[in-house]
Structure 1
Amino acid sequence: VATMRSLLPVAVSAVLLVAPSKTLEPDFTKGISDVKACMASENLDSLDALRTNKEARTAEEKCFIGCIMKFVEVLNSDGQYDVALFKDHINGCPEMAKDQQKKAALLEVAESCAGKASACSGHCECGVIVANCL
Structure 2
Amino acid sequence: MTSTTLICDTQPWKDLKAHVEDIKKTHLRDLMNNKERCEQMMVEFDGMFLDYSRQCATLDTMDKLYKLAEAASLKQQINRMYSGEHINSTEDRSVLHVALRAPRDTVINSDGKNVVPDVWNVLDKIKDFSEKVRSGSWVLKGGIKY
* TM-score, structure 1 normalization: 0.22
Structure with the larger helix share: 1
- Normalized against structure 2, the TM-score is what? 0.21
The structure whose Rg is larger is: 2
Q: Which has the higher strand share?
A: 2
- More relative contact order in 1 or in 2 (CA 8 Å, sep 6+)? 1
